[in-house]
Structure 1
Amino acid sequence: MTETLLVDPEWVDDHRDDPGVHVVDVREPWEYDTIGHLPGAINIPFDSYRDDDSPDPGTLPGADAFGRLLGEAGIGPDDTIVAYDDTHGVFAARLLVTALAYGHENVALLDGDFSAWQRAFETTTESPTIEPVSYEITGLAATAPIVDRAAVKAAIADGTATLLDTRNEAEYDEGHLPGAIRIDWREFVDDESRGVRSAAEIEALLTDRGISTDREQRIILYCNTSRRLSHTFVVLRSLGFTDVVIYEGSMTDWEAADGATETTA
């Protein structure tokens, strides 16, 4: 079990043979098979845990579907999931947020991605043997870090939360939630290491945008379809921000309901 939502390559290398740790590669199967992957890693492609038509909010896949997905991958309720991709962790982070939403507590993101891993550690094209397990999920967890449109409207009205828009500048300028502050998720990424920037750098960035570094403040994250916000969620939670939640519907849900937006001249 990890004590943070972010683990470095050395930790993964030391624990990838532990029976309770499952390293998950969320890239496309052809990348996993032909380019290679971390030794012992299993493949759960990004599209397999997204579903616009499920009964759950946003693109969550549904409790039954997600339970089957993890069980077929040999992952049990008490196991640790360590996810990675080759895009600075943004697709992998979405798997972790999904797992947390359905009550799977032991999750972590590889700090860096496949390209960063290759610089110092071995890779393989051999797939591990998977022993499926039974994993029943009955619904969203009571602790799911998710808020709905009504909660966002209330937060906008009473100013009790910091709204963070994790999209790029052009998207933000075209239209964003009233009062939202923009921090592109990529701003938390170090271009050289391909991992997360230092805590001091992130705190400086937050301060520069007028955002408090109080670890107990409520922060609501959104983007368009709840992918990019997932990386920001993992980073902030790994730094000790305890009340970070996501607007799962994000701008897709907000605009579908004709919610009010602001533009930047």
Structure 2
Amino acid sequence: MTDIVSASWVADQGADLRIVDVRDGWEYDGLGHLPGAVNVPFDEFRTGSGGEGMLPSDDEWAALLSEAGIDADSEILAYDDHHGVFAARFLVTAELLGHDPERLHLLDGDFSSWQLERETESEAPDVEPTEYGVSPPETTPLVDAETVADAADDPDAVLVDTREDEEYAAGHIPGAVLLDWRDLVDDETRGILPREDALAVLESAGIVPEKRIVLYCNTARRISHTYVVLRHLGFEDVDFYEGSLTEWEEENRPLETDESE
């Protein structure tokens, strides 16, 4: 499973770790980046042109990773400067398109927290392109709208909306509980909450390891972070609604508001 690793862990790794910075190019070039990091901007792998939801096609993904010098066996660390939410999307994309999740790592914290205590670089590394091959896995956590609709009535499942309070109040999938993805983030460290604190936040929303957890947001960006955190905490049964509210509303499915409940 994708894990969340400390800055110290990253610093101790050798050159075999492929570090991916998913910020915009101007940030990567102008503000500096982690030593050895390559730049794969978020917008480049959020195409929605060939895969499900906002996922890139197999060919688009293979071209991006090949250019970045990543192959199918690479250990990958991703980071951003937004508490990890954009980097988590990169890693979830990699998992859904067949990269071994045991080789995927999210930096605990982000670029801002890294640069407070550790060195950065301004020059892009020399990268030898590879021929990355996409091998879609036999099973994935992806679920469709019908599965999501059924989850609200399943006593063994919890349907989770990871957006902000105001968005949830304005309209959410019937039966969903609210968990703003940022509730699992420590604003001071810019990483995830300590384990026991994170589990307490989740339990307060009825999200416990014994249940099947079904995640959605608007376009599957924010649920990527929550998915990675849940898996890191040991949750084994986590479903991922890639279509999220974008697809749900396109299909004219019902929404609840605070007034309608």
Scaled by the length of structure 2, the TM-score of the pair is: 0.95
* 1:150, distance to aligned residue in structure 2 (A): 2.2
* Residue equivalent to 2:115: 118
- The root-mean-square deviation of aligned C-alpha atoms, in Å, is 1.4
* Residue equivalent to 2:228: 234
Corresponding residue to 2:63 among 68, 73, 87: 68
* Residue equivalent to 1:127: 124
Over 3 Å counting, the alpha-carbon distance change for 1:4 and 1:228 in structure 2 is closer
Q: Bigger shift: 29-38 or 199-208? A: 199-208
Q: Distance between the aligned counterparts of 2:254 and 2:150, measured in 1?
A: 13
**Percentage of pairs with the same residue:** 51
Q: Which amino acid aligns with 1:7?
A: V
Corresponding residue to 1:219 among 213, 218, 233: 213
Instruction: Tell me, yes or no, if the aligned pair for 1:203 and 1:213 is still in contact at 8 Å.
Output: no
Instruction: Tell me, yes or no, if the aligned pair for 2:24 and 2:41 is still in contact at 8 Å.
Output: yes
* 1:209, distance to aligned residue in structure 2 (A): 1.8
* Residue equivalent to 1:58: 53
Q: Distance between the aligned counterparts of 2:23 and 2:198, measured in 1?
A: 27
Q: Distance between the aligned counterparts of 1:244 and 1:164, measured in 2?
A: 10
Instruction: Tell me, yes or no, if the aligned pair for 1:222 and 1:229 is still in contact at 8 Å.
Output: yes
Query: 2:246 aligned with 1:252, yes or no?
Result: yes
List structure 1 segments (4+ residues) > 4 angstroms apart after TM superposition: none
* 1:88, distance to aligned residue in structure 2 (A): 0.4
Query: 2:172 aligned with 1:173, yes or no?
Result: no
> What pairs up with 1:150-189 in 2 under 5 angstroms?
150-189=146-185
Query: 2:45 aligned with 1:49, yes or no?
Result: yes
Once the two structures are superposed, what CA deviation does each residue of 1:206-262 show, in whole Å capped at 9, x if it has no partner? 222233343xx3111110000011111111100011111210000000011011221
Once the two structures are superposed, what CA deviation does each residue of 1:167-195 show, in whole Å capped at 9, x if it has no partner? 00010001111111111001110011000
Query: 2:192 aligned with 1:196, yes or no?
Result: yes
Q: Distance between the aligned counterparts of 1:6 and 1:210, measured in 2?
A: 23
| Structure 1 unaligned residues grouped into runs of 5+ | none
Q: Which amino acid aligns with 1:90?
A: V
Instruction: Tell me, yes or no, if the aligned pair for 1:163 and 1:220 is still in contact at 8 Å.
Output: yes
Q: Distance between the aligned counterparts of 2:194 and 2:2, measured in 1?
A: 15
Q: Distance between the aligned counterparts of 2:67 and 2:181, measured in 1?
A: 31
* Residue equivalent to 1:86: 81
Matched residues, number: 257
Q: Bigger shift: 140-149 or 150-159? A: 150-159
Q: Distance between the aligned counterparts of 1:119 and 1:64, measured in 2?
A: 38
* 1:92, distance to aligned residue in structure 2 (A): 0.4
Q: Distance between the aligned counterparts of 1:205 and 1:18, measured in 2?
A: 37
Q: Distance between the aligned counterparts of 2:139 and 2:69, measured in 1?
A: 24
Q: Distance between the aligned counterparts of 1:196 and 1:238, measured in 2?
A: 10
Instruction: Tell me, yes or no, if the aligned pair for 1:164 and 1:183 is still in contact at 8 Å.
Output: yes
Q: Distance between the aligned counterparts of 1:67 and 1:121, measured in 2?
A: 31
Query: 2:8 aligned with 1:13, yes or no?
Result: no
* 1:141, distance to aligned residue in structure 2 (A): 2.1
Q: Which amino acid aligns with 2:191?
A: G
| Structure 2 unaligned residues grouped into runs of 5+ | none
